Amino acid sequence: MKTMMFLISAVGLSALALAQGATPTNVAPADAKNHVGETVTICGKVVDTQINKYGIPNHGKPVMFDIDQPEPNPVFYFVTFGTKDGGPDEAIAAYKGKNVCVSGKIALATGKPYIMAADRTTIKVKAEN
C-alpha cells in the first residue's frame, strides 16, 4: 500500500514538474483572441504605444504596446513598465518598432487580448535580419 501511494505521488509530482518546464505554444497575434486563459508566446512587430495616464504604486505608468496592428483596431497588445529611472520612455525606446516575442497568460480587456508582462524577462527582442 505504501508503495502504491508513493508511485501515485511520484507520478503526480513529475507531471507538475514537467508541465512547468514546458515551452509556451507560439500563437499568431491575430489568433490570440482564441487562446484567452492560456500561457503562450506571441511574436510580432511593435507598431504603436500608449502610456496610461495613471501610475501603479511601485511600478509607475503602464505602457501598452500594439503588435502588428495599431489603434484603433489592435489585434493584440502587451503591457509592461519602464525602469524606475527611465520611466515609460525607457520601455518605449526598448521595444517600439522592433520585432518582439512576449510570453504569458492571455487576458481580455475591452474585448482585446493582451499579456501583462510586468516581468520584462518575458519579453524578447528578436534580432533584425
CATH number at residue 65: 2.40.50.140
User: Would you say residue 6 lies in a domain?
Assistant: no
Give the integer Cα–Cα distance in Å for 66 and 46: 6
Domain contains 3: no
Q: Residue 118 falls within a domain, yes or no?
A: yes
Query: pLDDT-derived band of residue 21, with 50, 70 and 90 as boundaries?
Result: low
**From the CB of residue 95, how many other CB atoms can be counted at a distance below 10 Å?**
22
Q: What is the count of structural domains for the chain?
A: 1
Domain presence at residue 7:
no
Q: What DSSP line would sit under 72-102, residue for residue?
A: TS-S-EEEEE-BTTTHHHHHHHHHTTSEEEE
Range of the domain at 105: 24-125
Tens digit of each residue's pLDDT (9 = 90 or more) over 79-102: 999 988 889 999 999 999 999 999
Q: Which whole number is the average pLDDT over 61-71?
A: 95
Give tens-digit pLDDT for 33-55. Answer: 999 999 999 999 999 999 999 98
Say what the pTM is: 0.80
